[in-house]
Amino acid sequence: MKVIILNGPMGVGKTSVGKYIADTNAGTAFIDGDWCLDLHPFVGNRETKTMAIDNILHMISNYRKCSFCQMIVLVWLMDDEWVRQSIIDGISSMELEIKYVTLMCDKEELIRRWKKDDKCEWRTDEWLKVSLKSLPQFMNQESVISTTGISIPEIAEMIIR
């Protein structure tokens, strides 16, 4: 079974691409890491991220046991190396194939997508500044795919191949 991990800054399109992959590949489970850390108010510290990692790995383990599940797509902003490595190590210990991808886009594209998204409660000017500031950090990660000017189906195809 393959697990596709999509990482990248807020607003880059991880959820849109991940849902597209799940919707177009039968037997694919979709996990949004934000669901596994849905505290109100939001607290993103080591304790809560550790809990989220445990929740994510538990879900992956359960999908692994399901005969209908052929692939898993995990989308989550993993801006701490220890978080990313914990997820990868946990999935590796389950002996599952991992395809790790960091999605990126340029500053103008991120702003355009951000302003267009009226459904996500995180799409505030304050969080946009945080996301823009994080762009250089994600550019240095492995397996970066630039999504600037590329459609969701094209991005999904690049990931699946």
Specify the pLDDT at position 151.
Answer: 96
> Does 78 score more than 90 pLDDT?
yes
pLDDT score recorded for residue 140: 84
Tell me what pLDDT residue 61 has. Answer: 98
The answer to whether 10 touches 131, Cβ cutoff 8 Å, is: yes
The 8 Å CB, 24+ separation contacts for 89-92 are 90/53, 90/56, 90/57, 90/60, 91/3, 91/5, 91/57, 91/60
Domains and CATH numbers, the chain: 2-160 (3.40.50.300)
Q: Residue 19's Cα: distance from chain center in Å? A: 10
pLDDT for the residue numbered 34: 93
pLDDT at 12: 95
Confidence of residue 117 (pLDDT cuts 50, 70, 90): confident
Least reliable range by pLDDT among 28-32, 72-76, 146-150: 146-150
Mean pLDDT over the full length of the chain: 95
